Structure 1
């Protein structure tokens, strides 16, 4: 058994690329992922699962076709499955995602922002 805490700041210091989630832990069939974001992502949805965004540092917006939610450090939002959304940030923002193992970051949409899956740091 490994009895070491996962230090989020230390894990975030290990990568610089944006829109490329890195796995830091698993619980049952879910993964905890850290990601750095800046600028616009793509419109997408996840038909089979909800998705949670937890802001660790900075500010971000999640746009929906009929509105938006603004998130700051220490805030989170759960996007219901099947709801189309587009995250963006004016300045670099660090977030944690909690998602089922194997979830593709761009959902059904394929783009240059589609990240490699299951990358651990």
Structure 2
């Protein structure tokens, strides 16, 4: 058995593309993904799963039809399934996601910002 911790800073240095989650590990049927964001994403929802957003650097904003949440560095937000949202960040922001292996970043609808799924770094 090979035991090694995952260095998040090292993994983040391996890519620059925005809104394109990169898998860094798995636990049961869940994946840990790193993501760099800036600007606005598309309105979408995930009908079948909750999602966890953990801000590593910067501040992420999630707009809802009836409100907004800001997730600064060092904080997490658990989004219940089925809620329509539009993520954004005013400046580049680094996020770790925890979500089921099969989740597509645009909630299953094909869109301009739909990223390849299951991309490992």
Which range moves more in the overlay, 109-118 or 90-99? 109-118
- Do structure 1's residue 5 and structure 2's residue 39 form an aligned pair? no
Q: CA RMSD in A?
A: 0.6
Look up the match of 2:49: 49
Q: TM-score, normalised by structure 2?
A: 0.98
Look up the match of 2:78: 78
Q: Distance in 1 between matches of 2:48 and 2:2?
A: 32
Structure 2 residue runs without a partner (length 5+): none
Per-residue CA deviations over 1:52-107 (Å, capped at 9, x if unaligned) read 10000001100000000001100010110000001000100000000000100000
SS at match of 1:10: helix
Q: What is the CA distance between 1:111 and its match in structure 2?
A: 1.0
Number of corresponding residues: 121
- TM alignment of 1:1-121, pairs within 5 A: 1-121=1-121
Structure 1 residue runs without a partner (length 5+): none
- Structure 1 residue ranges (4+ consecutive) displaced by more than 3 angstroms after TM superposition: none
Per-residue CA deviations over 1:23-49 (Å, capped at 9, x if unaligned) read 000000000000000000000011100
Q: Distance in 2 between matches of 1:109 and 1:89?
A: 22
Q: Distance in 2 between matches of 1:21 and 1:37?
A: 10
